[in-house]
Amino acid sequence: MHGSEDQEFLALERELSVFLRRARASSGEMARALHPELEPAAYGLLVRLEAAGRQRATELAAYFGVGKATMSRQLRALELLGLVAREPDPADGRAFLVGLTDEGRDRFLRVRGARREQYMRKLADWDRGEVAELARLLRQLNSGEE
């Protein structure tokens, strides 16, 4: 593809770059609001654990496309902050499941509520169908990454 055929993809790259930069900054703010010592990347782990429930570290690593060592380090940090806890996997006593603690869930839900309010303010002029379509398209884009 050359010339004008590339314009749609160049526009997509430009807009995604801005979106991702802003999303990283926002995740940093959300992480700090949740706990001052929380790394921005760890916020996404809490999102996943709240949505999917307890999981093995290997499942989380696969979901996010990171190595086991990276995931172990991030989970250890969350555990030290009291936001997640490990417990033996009933299906395999050698493995552990990681889940949110009550404190982790309470903090996460408070911060997520604040984030949702930000989205609602920013998209107040959008039709609900447009918001749903954006979510659908982002889900479609994300599913292509798995």
Mean pLDDT calculated for residue range 7-28: 87
Q: What are the tens digits of pLDDT across the range 76-123?
A: 999 999 999 999 999 888 889 999 999 999 999 999 998 899 889 999
pLDDT at 39 over 90: no
Burial of residue 104 (CB within 10 Å: 0-12, 13-18, 19+) is buried
Give percent of the chain with pLDDT exceeding 90.
54
The DSSP code for 4 is G
φ/ψ (deg, to 5) at 92: -155, 100
Label residue 56 by pLDDT band (50, 70, 90): very high
Choose between 38 and 84: higher pLDDT: 84
The token pair at 23 is 């999303």
Give percent of the chain with pLDDT exceeding 70.
95
Label residue 4 by pLDDT band (50, 70, 90): low
The token pair at 139 is 């889900």
pTM value surpassing 0.85: no
**How, if at all, do strands 84-89 and 92-100 pair?**
antiparallel
Rounded to the nearest integer, the mean pLDDT of the chain is 89
